[in-house]
Structure formats: structure tokens, C-alpha cells
Amino acid sequence: MSRLAKKPIAVGKTAVSVAGGTLTVKGTKGTLTKRVHPSISIVVDEQGVMVTPKDRSRIAKSLTGTFASHVKNMVQGVETPYVIKLILDGVGYKMEVKGKEVVLTVGFSHTVPLEIPEDVVVKVEKNTMTLESANKESVGQFAANVRRVKPPEPYLGKGIHYEGEIIRRKQGKKAV
């Protein structure tokens, strides 16, 4: 069994409930829901949330730690939202928010529109995009989708990268 699931997960001021195979976490910054796998049991008591396998099957054992991590991320996200910053480097490259889309101009012959998920808040200032959400999965997936449009290239470093990400640079051609 997972080491994460052996100890109860502290919930603090959040309200956690399990009903009908659905986990619901309510906090000051939002409400998150997730379907629970039938081989996992989630119990809420005064010490916290306990995640245990219902049987001794291989899938139940492997999903115990996964769901413990999901519960921990959900409890943490509804109290303090997850924030990811993306930085755009390149001459003539720009990004802007138009309605429910992010429009990227990154050196292609066309612009690249990406639809913003409903639970993610996007702010763009010059060449920095800030993504904020209570759901760690959705903010991380949307950040990965934006980065995938134009990942940083190793020679000039142009492209979209995470804040604090180290880009390995190559030397390039040498004159003889």
C-alpha cells in the first residue's frame, strides 16, 4: 500500500464529502468533484480523509496512492489556487486573450487559438501568461497544451517555456 494513504489527509477548513461514488471538496476558492474508482474506499472523519483499498486486487493497491494524492491536491487547491506562469520569448511573438480563447502568434503563417478551460483564469501581461485554478490537473494540462504550440528551441531559446525552466542551449555552427 502507498505511504501517502497510510496517514489521514488533513482537511483544515475545507468540507469533504463522499456520496454515490463522487468525492466533493468545498473550500473558500471553489468546489471540486471527482469520480471515485469502485475499488477504492474514501472515509471522512474528524482526523481527516482516509483512502483505503476495498479489496486486495492489484488495481486497488495501485490506485490507493493515486487517489490519496488527488484528495490532497484537491484540498490544497480549494484553499490556495495553483498558479503557473508561462513566458514567451521571440521577436514578434505575442499572446493575447480574446473572449474564451488565447490567441498565440509565434512565427507561423497563421495564429493559433486555444480554448481556455472553464475553471482556469488566464492573465496576459506583455510576454508573460499567468494561469490560475483550484484544479491542479486542468491548469497543468492547459499549460502543457500552450507550451506544446511552440516549445523552446535550443539554439536561440525562442518559444514558450515555464517560469524558472532551464533551457539547454546548443552552441551552433563555428566559422572555420
The per-residue pLDDT for range 69-89, each reduced to its tens digit, is 999 999 999 999 999 999 999
- State the distance between the two ends of the chain, measured CA to CA, in whole angstroms: 61
Domains of the chain, residue spans: 4-79, 82-162
Q: Does domain 4-79 have CATH number 3.90.930.12?
A: yes
CATH number of 82-162: 3.90.930.12
Q: How confident is the model at residue 1 (pLDDT cuts 50, 70, 90)?
A: low
Please, what is the average pLDDT of the chain? 93
Tell me what the mean pLDDT of segment 160-171 comes to. 93
- The DSSP bridge partners found for residue 159 are 89
31, burial (CB in 10 Å: exposed 0-12, middle 13-18, buried 19+)? middle
Q: How confident is the model at residue 26 (pLDDT cuts 50, 70, 90)?
A: very high
Q: What is the 3-state secondary structure (H, E, C) of the chain?
A: CCCHHHCCECCCCCEEEEECCEEEEEECCEEEEEECCCCEEEEEECCEEEEEECCCCHHHHHHHHHHHHHHHHHHHHHHCCEEEEEEEECCCCEEEEECCEEEEECCCCCCEEEECCCCCEEEEECCEEEEEECCHHHHHHHHHHHHHHCCCCCCCCCEEEECCCCCCCCCCCCCC
pLDDT over 90 for what percent of the chain?
83
Contact (Cβ atoms closer than 8 angstroms) between residue 165 and residue 122: no
Enter the C-alpha cell of residue 164.
524558472
Nearest residue to 14 via CA among 23, 6, 4: 23
- Give the tens place of pLDDT for each residue, 98-152: 999 999 999 999 999 999 999 999 999 999 999 999 999 999 999 999 999 999 9
Determine the pLDDT at residue 46: 87
Q: Supply the pTM of this predicted model.
A: 0.90
Calculate the alpha carbon distances from 31 to 27, 94, 119 in Å.
6, 33, 10
Is residue 175 over pLDDT 80? no
